A and B are shown apart, each in its own frame.
Chain A
Amino acid sequence: MKKFNVVGKPVTRQDAYEKATGTALYADDYTFPGMLYGVMVRVPASHAIIDRIDYSAVAGNPAVTAIVDHNDIPAQKKVGPIKQDQPIFSWEKIVTPGDVVAMLVGQNETELLQLRDKVSVEFTALPVLTDPLKSMDPDAPRIHPQYENNAIVHYPLRKGDPEKGFAESDYIIEQTYTTQFIEHGYIEPEAVIAIPLGKAKGVKILGSIQNPHTTRKVVALVLGLPLTKVRVVQAEMGGSFGGKDDQMNILSARAAVAAVKTNRPVKIRFNREESILESYKRHPYHMHYKVGFTNEGKLKSMRIHITADGGAYASMSPFVTWRTVVQATGPYEVENVFTDVHAVYTNNPYTGAMRGFGSPQPIFAQEQIMDEIALKLGMSPLQIREINGFKTGSVTASGQKLDNHEVNLSTVINKAVEETNFVEKWQKNQKDNADVAKQLNFANDSEANQFILTKDQLIAPDKTWRKGIGLAASYRGCSLGAEGIDVTSAYLSVQLDGSAYLLCGLAENGQGLRTTFCIVAAEILGLTVDKIFYLEQDTAIAPDSGPTVASRSTLMGGGAVRNAAETIRERMVRSVADEWKVSADSITFANNTVSSSENNKSVTFADACGITYKHKENLATIGFYQAPEVSWEEETGQGSAYFTYVYGCQIAEITVNIATGQVYVEKVTAVHDPGTVLNLQGALGQVYGGVTQGVGYGIWEEISVHNGKIREMNLDQYLLPTSKEIDDITAIFIEGKDEHGAWGAKSLGEPTLELGAAAVANAIQNATGTRFYHNPINLEEILLNRKLYPEDLKRGSL
Chain B
Amino acid sequence: MKKHIKFLLNGREMACEVEQNKRLLDFLREDLQLTGTKEGCSVGECGACTIIVDKLAVNSCLMLAVQVDGAEVMTVEGLMENGELSKMQQQFIDKGAIQCGFCTPGMMMSAYALIMHNPDPSVEEIKTAIAGNLCRCTGYKQIIEAVSCSCGK
A binds B: yes
Which residues between 1 and 58 of chain A lie within 8 Å of chain B, taking CB atoms?
10, 12-13, 15-26, 28-29
Binary A-proximity of B133-149 (CB < 8 A = 1, otherwise 0): 11111111111100000
On whether the beta carbons of A714 and B41 are closer than 8 Å, the reply is yes
A contact residues around B75 at 8 Å (CB) = 22
Which among B38, B90, B94, B139 is the interface contact of A688 at CB below 8 angstroms?
B139
Binary A-proximity of B18-51 (CB < 8 A = 1, otherwise 0): 0000000000010000111111111101101000
A contact residues around B77 at 8 Å (CB) = 21-22
Which among A10, A238, A688 is the interface contact of B101 at CB below 8 angstroms?
A238
On whether the beta carbons of B139 and A22 are closer than 8 Å, the reply is no
Within the assembled complex, what's the spacing in Å between the Cα atoms of A15 and B101?
9
B115–chain A nearest beta-carbon distance, Å: 16
A contact residues around B135 at 8 Å (CB) = 187, 723
B47–chain A nearest beta-carbon distance, Å: 9
Q: Does A509 contact B (CB under 8 A)?
A: yes
On whether the beta carbons of B42 and A271 are closer than 8 Å, the reply is yes
Q: A16-B98, A187-B46, A187-B48 are in contact. Are A722 and B134 (CB under 8 A)?
A: yes
A140–chain B nearest beta-carbon distance, Å: 36
Q: A187-B40, A187-B134 are in contact. Are A685 and B142 (CB under 8 A)?
A: yes
Binary B-proximity of A669-694 (CB < 8 A = 1, otherwise 0): 00000000000011011011111110
Within the assembled complex, what's the spacing in Å between the Cα atoms of A546 and B141?
32
Q: Does A510 contact B (CB under 8 A)?
A: yes
Q: Does B112 contact A (CB under 8 A)?
A: no
Q: Does A726 contact B (CB under 8 A)?
A: yes
On whether the beta carbons of B38 and A724 are closer than 8 Å, the reply is no
Q: A187-B48, A188-B102 are in contact. Are A241 and B96 (CB under 8 A)?
A: no
Closest A-chain residue to B128, C-beta based?
Answer: A724
Which residues between 174 and 224 of chain A lie within 8 Å of chain B, taking CB atoms?
184-189
Within the assembled complex, what's the spacing in Å between the Cα atoms of A89 and B135?
33
On whether the beta carbons of A688 and B102 are closer than 8 Å, the reply is no
B contact residues around A13 at 8 Å (CB) = 93, 96, 98
Q: A685-B96, A724-B131 are in contact. Are A26 and B140 (CB under 8 A)?
A: no
On whether the beta carbons of B38 and A26 are closer than 8 Å, the reply is yes
Which among B37, B79, B99, B136 is the interface contact of A512 at CB below 8 angstroms?
B99
Q: Does B127 contact A (CB under 8 A)?
A: yes
Which among B89, B93, B130, B136 is the interface contact of A187 at CB below 8 angstroms?
B136
Which residues between 42 and 91 of chain B lie within 8 Å of chain A, taking CB atoms?
42-43, 45-46, 48, 75-77, 79-80, 85, 89-90
On whether the beta carbons of B134 and A22 are closer than 8 Å, the reply is no
On whether the beta carbons of B36 and A685 are closer than 8 Å, the reply is no
Closest B-chain residue to A509, C-beta based?
Answer: B100
Within the assembled complex, what's the spacing in Å between the Cα atoms of A360 and B2?
53
Closest B-chain residue to A11, C-beta based?
Answer: B96
Which among B37, B39, B41, B46 is the interface contact of A22 at CB below 8 angstroms?
B37
A contact residues around B89 at 8 Å (CB) = 20-21
B contact residues around A239 at 8 Å (CB) = 99-100, 102, 136-137
A contact residues around B102 at 8 Å (CB) = 26, 186-188, 238-239, 510
Q: Does B113 contact A (CB under 8 A)?
A: no
On whether the beta carbons of A684 and B142 are closer than 8 Å, the reply is yes
On whether the beta carbons of A729 and B141 are closer than 8 Å, the reply is yes
On whether the beta carbons of B45 and A723 are closer than 8 Å, the reply is no
Q: Does A606 contact B (CB under 8 A)?
A: no
A contact residues around B94 at 8 Å (CB) = 12
**Residue from B29, B37, B45, B108 having most chain A Cβ neighbours under 10 A:** B45
Within the assembled complex, what's the spacing in Å between the Cα atoms of A107 and B35?
19
Closest A-chain residue to B21, C-beta based?
Answer: A110
On whether the beta carbons of A688 and B36 are closer than 8 Å, the reply is no
Which among A21, A187, A684 is the interface contact of B100 at CB below 8 angstroms?
A187
Instruction: Count B-side interface residues using an 8 Å CB cutoff.
Output: 53
A contact residues around B100 at 8 Å (CB) = 186-188, 236-240, 509-510
Q: Does A715 contact B (CB under 8 A)?
A: yes
Q: Does A396 contact B (CB under 8 A)?
A: no
Q: Does A272 contact B (CB under 8 A)?
A: yes
Within the assembled complex, what's the spacing in Å between the Cα atoms of A498 and B104?
33
A-B contact count (CB 8 A): 170
Within the assembled complex, what's the spacing in Å between the Cα atoms of A795 and B45?
15
On whether the beta carbons of A272 and B41 are closer than 8 Å, the reply is yes
Q: Does A139 contact B (CB under 8 A)?
A: no
On whether the beta carbons of B98 and A21 are closer than 8 Å, the reply is no
Q: Does A716 contact B (CB under 8 A)?
A: yes
B99–chain A nearest beta-carbon distance, Å: 5
Closest A-chain residue to B132, C-beta based?
Answer: A722
On whether the beta carbons of A715 and B46 are closer than 8 Å, the reply is yes
On whether the beta carbons of B98 and A25 are closer than 8 Å, the reply is no
B31–chain A nearest beta-carbon distance, Å: 12
Within the assembled complex, what's the spacing in Å between the Cα atoms of A714 and B43?
8
Closest B-chain residue to A269, C-beta based?
Answer: B39
Within the assembled complex, what's the spacing in Å between the Cα atoms of A188 and B135?
10
On whether the beta carbons of B46 and A723 are closer than 8 Å, the reply is no
Which among B34, B90, B130, B136 is the interface contact of A723 at CB below 8 angstroms?
B130
B contact residues around A16 at 8 Å (CB) = 92-93, 98, 101
A contact residues around B140 at 8 Å (CB) = 688, 692, 722-723, 726
Which among B105, B131, B139 is the interface contact of A692 at CB below 8 angstroms?
B139
Closest B-chain residue to A695, C-beta based?
Answer: B139
Where chain A touches its partner, the secondary structure class is loop
Closest B-chain residue to A239, C-beta based?
Answer: B100
Closest A-chain residue to B99, C-beta based?
Answer: A510
Within the assembled complex, what's the spacing in Å between the Cα atoms of A728 and B142?
11
On whether the beta carbons of B142 and A723 are closer than 8 Å, the reply is no
A278–chain B nearest beta-carbon distance, Å: 16
Q: Does A720 contact B (CB under 8 A)?
A: yes
On whether the beta carbons of B139 and A20 are closer than 8 Å, the reply is no
On whether the beta carbons of B35 and A25 are closer than 8 Å, the reply is yes
On whether the beta carbons of B96 and A693 are closer than 8 Å, the reply is no
B149–chain A nearest beta-carbon distance, Å: 14
A contact residues around B134 at 8 Å (CB) = 185, 187, 715, 720, 722
Which among A23, A509, A682 is the interface contact of B96 at CB below 8 angstroms?
A682
Q: Does A511 contact B (CB under 8 A)?
A: yes
B contact residues around A721 at 8 Å (CB) = 139
On whether the beta carbons of A236 and B101 are closer than 8 Å, the reply is yes
Within the assembled complex, what's the spacing in Å between the Cα atoms of A21 and B84?
10
A contact residues around B41 at 8 Å (CB) = 272, 714-716
B49–chain A nearest beta-carbon distance, Å: 11
**Residue from A18, A685, A726 having most chain B Cβ neighbours under 10 A:** A685
Which residues between 152 and 189 of chain A lie within 8 Å of chain B, taking CB atoms?
184-189
On whether the beta carbons of A272 and B138 are closer than 8 Å, the reply is no
B contact residues around A685 at 8 Å (CB) = 96, 99, 137-139, 142
Within the assembled complex, what's the spacing in Å between the Cα atoms of A437 and B43?
40
Within the assembled complex, what's the spacing in Å between the Cα atoms of A569 and B65?
57
Which residues between 2 and 24 of chain B lie within 8 Å of chain A, taking CB atoms?
none
On whether the beta carbons of A714 and B99 are closer than 8 Å, the reply is no
Which among A689, A714, A728 is the interface contact of B45 at CB below 8 angstroms?
A714
On whether the beta carbons of B144 and A723 are closer than 8 Å, the reply is yes
B contact residues around A184 at 8 Å (CB) = 136
On whether the beta carbons of B79 and A21 are closer than 8 Å, the reply is yes
Binary B-proximity of A236-256 (CB < 8 A = 1, otherwise 0): 111111000000000000000
Closest A-chain residue to B94, C-beta based?
Answer: A12
**Residue from B76, B79, B136 having most chain A Cβ neighbours under 10 A:** B136
A242–chain B nearest beta-carbon distance, Å: 12
Closest B-chain residue to A683, C-beta based?
Answer: B96
A-B pairs with beta carbons under 8 Å apart, 20 shown: A16-B93, A19-B101, A22-B76, A25-B35, A26-B102, A184-B136, A185-B136, A186-B102, A187-B102, A187-B134, A237-B100, A239-B102, A509-B100, A510-B100, A510-B102, A714-B41, A716-B41, A716-B43, A723-B135, A724-B127
Q: Which 4 A-B pairs have the closest CB atoms?
A: A22-B36, A510-B100, A19-B101, A238-B102
A interface with B by C-beta (< 8 Å): 10, 12-13, 15-26, 28-29, 184-189, 236-241, 271-272, 509-512, 681-682, 684-685, 687-693, 714-716, 720-724, 726, 728-729
B interface with A by C-beta (< 8 Å): 29, 34-43, 45-46, 48, 75-77, 79-80, 85, 89-90, 92-94, 96, 98-105, 108, 126-128, 130-144
